[in-house]
Structure 1
Amino acid sequence: MNEPAPEPSVTRVGDIAFDDAVRLLSAHGLQLHHVAAGAPIPGSYWGEPEAGIIASDVYVRDDTPVHSMLHEACHLIVLPPERRALVHTDATDSVPEEDATCYLQIVLAGQLPGVGSAQLMADMDAWGYTYRLGSTRAWFERDAEDARAWLVERGLLVG
């Protein structure tokens, strides 16, 4: 019988100070909700343990990867308020929006104590994010100008 492969070793919400994550997301108009161990995560597109989103709310458990929490939160951050209010589970509208989300999650990881951008990029690679240049770091440093420009144009990053 084939056993499912174990999940990669990545930084989980339970590995960081929850209040730090609450502060980071609230600075962007989001509410972070802690879901009890084993309980379903509302609004999770990929299913547990991945984060869930509904309107301005982000749902996580201790076993949720931090990269998932930040990715789903960034999907909400890049949306104008009128679109954010309509989100339930799936927020992606376009490839440029998805790229901007990936870029912003790396930037925000640099503002989250106990994580940092380098760790988040390593976690993204371990989890299976794929990029043309072979790694998240290579994409972020050498192939993400369009994602950065998209964020700057919308006032979500300083140019």
Structure 2
Amino acid sequence: MQASPASLPSGSVLRLADIAEDAARALLARYGLALERVPDGQPIPGSFWGDDEAGIIGAIVHARGDTPVHSLLHEAGHLIVLPAERRAQVHTDATDSIEEEDATCYLQIVLADELPGVGRARLMADMDAWGYSFRLGSTAAWFAADAENARQWLIEHRLLDEQGRPVFPS
């Protein structure tokens, strides 16, 4: 799987400003993460791709109102899959592990169901529109038929239960 930003018309993907920000903030907080809102037009600290893409520094996900929800959840997912000692050291780039990247992609899809008005179907469509590429041709096909390794990794690391629901730290 490889991801890179495609040229998308503004408004074609769901953005932070389109959803209940408090719900996103509360979801991240369940994992000990914070959402830092960056003023419109300002650079996003810790953004790997730049532009409107979310950034990560330590346990903070940085995003603007125009940040795509899939980007916010992806970057949060990177922090969630990391052990606390590694999370504290993150700045911009969270992993070079294929297993962690796959787990992050899977987890962001599952977490979309936790946000009112988002859901996994919309998130997967937005991931495809952005430019994620999976060998089966779409995010939905990957999730349904080629992501068992990511699912198992998340279960083994106690981030998903056996039914595929997120497990939140207590």
Which category of TM-score, normalised to the shorter sequence, fits these structures?
A: over 0.9
Q: How does 1:1-159 map to 2 (within 5 A)?
A: 5-7=7-9, 9-159=12-162
TM (norm. structure 2) is 0.89
Residues 132 and 5 from structure 1, CA distance in 2 versus in 1: closer, same or farther, beyond 3 angstroms?
Answer: closer
Instruction: Provide structure 1 residue ranges, at least 5 long, that are not aligned to the other structure.
Output: none
Residues 63 and 133 from structure 1, CA distance in 2 versus in 1: closer, same or farther, beyond 3 angstroms?
Answer: same
**Alpha-carbon distance in structure 2 between the residues aligned to 1:134 and 1:20:** 31
Instruction: Provide structure 2 residue ranges, at least 5 long, that are not aligned to the other structure.
Output: 1-5, 163-170
**Alpha-carbon distance in structure 1 between the residues aligned to 2:19 and 2:100:** 27
Shift of residue 7, structure 1, vs aligned partner: 3.9
- The number of aligned residues is 156
Shift of residue 5, structure 1, vs aligned partner: 4.5
**Alpha-carbon distance in structure 1 between the residues aligned to 2:9 and 2:66:** 11
* RMSD after superposition: 1.2
**Alpha-carbon distance in structure 2 between the residues aligned to 1:108 and 1:32:** 15
Shift of residue 17, structure 1, vs aligned partner: 0.9
Q: Considering Cα pairs closer than 8 Å and 6+ residues apart, tell me whether 1 or 2 has the greater RCO.
A: 2
* Overall identity of the aligned pairs, in %: 67
